[in-house]
C-alpha cells in the first residue's frame, strides 16, 4: 500500500497577499515573497488544513 502525502499549493492568481497562511501555519511552510504567499518548505506540512481553512480568497489547496 502506498501512502500519499499532500502538500499545499498556492494559486498565485487568487492570492491576495494577506499572509493569513503564514500566520496560522504551525510548521512554517509559507513565506511572503513579492506580496504573495509562497510554499517554501512543503516537506514540513502536517496536513492540518489550517492554511486552507484560513485563506480568505480560497487560494490554497492540499494536493498529492
Does 13 fall in a domain?
yes
Does residue 38 fall inside a structural domain? yes
**CATH number, domain containing residue 34:** 3.30.70.20
Question: What's the structural domain count of the chain?
Answer: 1
Residue 36 in domain: yes
Separation CA 48–CA 60 (nearest Å): 13
- Per-residue pLDDT of 6-28, as tens digits, reads 999 999 999 999 999 999 999 99
Secondary structure (H, E, C), the chain: CCCCCCEEEECCCCCCCCCHHHHHCCCCCEEEECCEEEECCHHHCCCCCHHHHHCCCCCEEEEC
Q: What is the pLDDT of residues 36-64, one digit of tens each?
A: 999 999 999 999 999 999 999 999 999 99
The verdict on pTM exceeding 0.85 is yes
Asked whether residue 2 is assigned to any structural domain, the reply reads no
Amino acid at each position: 500500500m502506498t501512502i500519499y502525502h499532500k502538500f499545499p499549493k498556492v494559486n498565485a492568481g487568487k492570492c491576495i497577499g494577506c499572509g493569513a497562511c503564514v500566520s496560522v501555519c504551525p510548521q512554517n511552510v509559507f513565506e511572503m515573497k513579492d506580496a504573495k504567499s509562497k510554499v517554501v518548505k512543503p516537506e514540513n506540512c502536517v496536513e492540518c488544513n489550517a492554511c486552507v481553512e484560513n485563506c480568505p480568497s480560497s487560494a490554497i489547496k492540499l494536493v498529492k
